Amino acid sequence: FAVVAAECSEIAQVFTIGQSSQGRPLQGVRITDNPTVHEEGEPEFKYVGNMHGDETVGRYVLVQLIRYLCNHYADEADVRELVDNVDLYIVPTMNPDGFELATRENGNRVDLNRNFPDQYDRSFRMRDMFVDPPPIDELLDHREVEVQAMMKWSASRHF
């Protein structure tokens, strides 16, 4: 997908949010009419695929979405309107190690889907989440590096 993004650099920019447990980059493509500028008030949408390494359809769909938006920005009004008015962040794979190994888990044999905090997590017990949410660092304790990267990145944007 980086090659496709390079071909339409006027609307696409590759970004990295971290590394996998085996050192592979966690990369995505930002697609918008001004990819090097943050436009205050422009809606931001995040698409993430391939959390389970052996479930590859989402990864391929997101790569095709990047390709479609790049290839049709100049000649399709609907694509141009979307790209000009929305900041799209597309991460085709959250689990590059699992993809390479053709397994559900990451390189540490952990199911990333089960590694995110939920309402039963110890960080959430005994708290009123609307009044006293746990700090992000507390939520990151004992998480896989892919989950930490995704949580930090998600907390840094207004998706």
CA distance 111 to 41: 35
Collect all residues with Cβ–Cβ distance below 8 Å to 51 and sequence separation of at least 6: 94, 95, 112, 113
Q: Give per-residue pLDDT as tens, 6-36.
A: 889 999 999 999 999 999 999 999 999 999 9
Highest mean pLDDT among 37-41, 106-110, 113-117: 106-110
Look at residue 15 in the predicted model and tell me its pLDDT. 97
Q: How far is residue 146's CA from residue 23's CA, in Å, rounded to a whole number?
A: 10
Judged against a pLDDT cut of 60, whether residue 127 lies above it is answered with: no
Q: Where are the beta strands (DSSP E) in the chain?
A: 12-19, 25-31, 44-48, 87-91
- What integer is the mean pLDDT of 91-115? 97
pLDDT band at 71 (very low <50, low <70, confident <90, very high): very high
Instruction: Catalogue all structural domains in the chain, each as residue range(s) with its CATH number.
Output: 2-156 (3.40.630.10)
Q: What is the pLDDT of residues 32-41, one digit of tens each?
A: 999 999 999 9
| Separation of alpha carbons 113 and 137, rounded Å | 19
Percent of the chain surpassing pLDDT 70: 90
pLDDT for res 3: 85
Quote the pLDDT of residue 94.
97
Report pLDDT for 17: 98
Position 139 confidence tier, pLDDT thresholds 50, 70, 90: confident
pTM for the whole structure:
0.88
